[in-house]
Structure 1
Amino acid sequence: MMTRPPLHTRRHVLIGGVLSLAAPQLLQAQTLPEEPQAPVRHNVSSFSSQDWRDHFDDLGKGAILCDTISRALHYWSADESDYRVYPTSVPRSDELTKRGYTKIVRKRVGPDWTPTASQKERFGWTYMPPGPDNPLGTHAMYLDWPAYLIHGTHDTRKIGRQSSDGCIGLFNSAIAELFEITPIGTQVRVI
């Protein structure tokens, strides 16, 4: 007559099996280097605060820093009482990225969009009225560089990526907030 092993023995076998599967991960976790790894600067978790003094002589009407490496927009109010950081989309390539100093010269709620000549040629894009398909989203702030804007996007997959033809894109909720607090004449630096 065959006897069954006691229940506690089966439990021990099951627990031992689970522990043997988990052991490599436990050992690996114990052997990780104690030194922190260099931060990855290509996602939201790479945001770090900036000091406006590293980029501007004074705050003037306010200041915006667009960091294309960490894909973040930093905003400072004129009296330095308000500092905000927003995740952005950035240009697809260095050739499309204009860097330097500029300023906000115009703002528009519900912008329409006319593609540049190269966009028409490359993609066949045509004029787009305001609305949910408009690539400029719900709000746009125009820079004194022709065809360069800070604007919203309805395609939230673009934020945090190299996805624009030169503009800085924000979530629609973020551009609406920034739009309200940013006066015309605010200085902008793109790095």
Structure 2
Amino acid sequence: MTINSKTFDRRAFLGAAAGLVGAGLAAPAVFAQTPDAGLETIDNSINSNAHRNISSFRELDWRDYFSTTTNGAILVDTVSRALHYWNDDQSVYKLYPTSVPVSEDLTRRGRTEVIRKVENPTWAPTPSMKARNPEWPDFVPAGPDNPLGTRALYLSWQYYRIHGTHDTRKIGRKSSNGCIGLYNQHIEELYSLAKVGTQVVLV
């Protein structure tokens, strides 16, 4: 299938992205901005000694990862595919299911922070991505075909986002090229709570 600048064929794009990941051509800094990389069968590879609820989310405490919750704190658990949020005084706590990267080499862990908040984000491939896939569009406007959904929190790591998705099948699965995806209604709530400067840790 051909992807041109006027019509963004999402299925062709997702298929091509998944193929590249499967061929081992993806690198985190190159592909993280493209959130969709196909679907995988959900596994249950959660640490056996972790406390879990029915959704297999691990119960995590902010004190194990942050010295303070100043500006709020976001903890992304890539193992149980969940995002935890605490506000400044811990009076607000949220837990959301997420999508996570499809493979270990696309998964980035560590400390970062929210540097920008974007409502109805647009999307563009990275230069390396475009060089390998010249048929991909240079730009995808906000809307139902946009891979970033209705909101995006830009992190200090280049090309990495916490964002929504219009494809709800991807939540709870290994399905991204590096970004963390949420249901649109959840990213919209998180967007209203998080600030520029909110701390983020991925584990």
What TM-score results when the alignment is normalised by the length of structure 2? 0.71
Using the TM superposition, give the Cα deviation of residue 184 of structure 1 relative to its aligned residue in structure 2, in angstroms. Answer: 0.9
- Which of 50, 55, 71 in structure 2 is aligned with 1:61? 71
Is the counterpart of residue 41 in structure 1 residue 46 in structure 2? yes
In the alignment, is the contact (CA less than 8 A) between 1:44 and 1:87 conserved in 2? no
- Which of 83, 108, 111 in structure 1 is aligned with 2:118? 108
Matching residue of 1:156: 168
Q: Distance in 1 between matches of 2:135 and 2:92?
A: 42
Greater RCO (CA < 8 Å, at least 6 residues apart): 2
Q: Distance in 1 between matches of 2:92 and 2:135?
A: 42
Larger Rg: 1
Say which SS state the counterpart of residue 60 (structure 1) adopts. coil
Q: Distance in 1 between matches of 2:135 and 2:108?
A: 23
What TM-score results when the alignment is normalised by the length of structure 1? 0.75
Provide structure 1 residue ranges, at least 5 long, that are not aligned to the other structure.
Answer: 1-38
- Which of 138, 156, 168 in structure 2 is aligned with 1:144? 156
Identical pairs, percent: 57
AA of the residue aligned to 1:53:
R
Say which SS state the counterpart of residue 108 (structure 1) adopts. strand
- Between Structure 1 and Structure 2, the one with more helix by share is 1
Count of residues in Structure 1 that have an aligned counterpart in Structure 2: 153
In the alignment, is the contact (CA less than 8 A) between 2:121 and 2:150 conserved in 1? yes
Provide structure 2 residue ranges, at least 5 long, that are not aligned to the other structure.
Answer: 1-43, 48-52
